[in-house]
Amino acid sequence: MRFTREIVTLNDLDGVAGEILEKASNYKIFCFHGEMGAGKTTLIKSICRKLGVSDEVQSPTFSIVNEYEDSCKKPVYHFDFYRLKNEEEAYDLGYEHYFFSGYFCLVEWPEKVKDLLKLKKADIFIELMAEKRQITVEYD
């Protein structure tokens, strides 16, 4: 399955976040693709809002993963693999523990961890264009 939405203002984002969660409702792992500044973290913030996360959502700065809590008191994991030097570091982090937990995993820079490709996940591509952003969601 695949769908594309255009985002002109930040106000459009919550609607798309809700639609992603609704349509890909049997997915827990979401990989966010897009160049620097494309809006990955911003979309993750919006998705977390929909999940009822009240913690501050921002890319982990001192680590690779942040843990929040959703409205059901379940963990939500937010990864940013940008600063990962090699895949070994992801293993050291015990990343399988997170990805096989059954809890939401929202991943920036998933390309850094090739093993992620094997998992059941939804991919979200954000493309920054002149006056808008285009968000394409792909899942099986």
Ligand X SMILES: Nc1ncnc2c1ncn2[C@@H]1O[C@H](COP(=O)(O)OP(=O)(O)OP(=O)(O)O)[C@@H](O)[C@H]1O
Residues engaged in binding ligand X (CB under 6 A): 7, 10, 13, 34, 36-42, 59, 108, 133
**Between 4 and 101, CB nearer to ligand X:** 4
Nearest to 32 by CA among 49, 46, 15, 11: 46
With binding defined as CB under 5 A, does residue 33 bind Mg ion?
A: no
Query: Distance of CA 119 to CAs 12, 31, 71, Å?
Result: 29, 11, 25
End-to-end CA gap in the chain: 6
CB contact set of 6 (below 8 Å; sequence gap of 6+): 12, 132, 133, 134, 135
Nearest approach, Cβ of 33 to ligand X (angstroms)? Answer: 9
Site string for Mg ion, 57-96 (x = CB under 5 A): --x-------------------------------------
- The CB-of-102 to ligand X minimum distance in angstroms stands at 25
Alpha carbon 60 to chain centroid, angstroms: 13
Residue nearest to Mg ion (CB): 41
The residues binding Mg ion (CB under 5 A) are 40-41, 59, 108
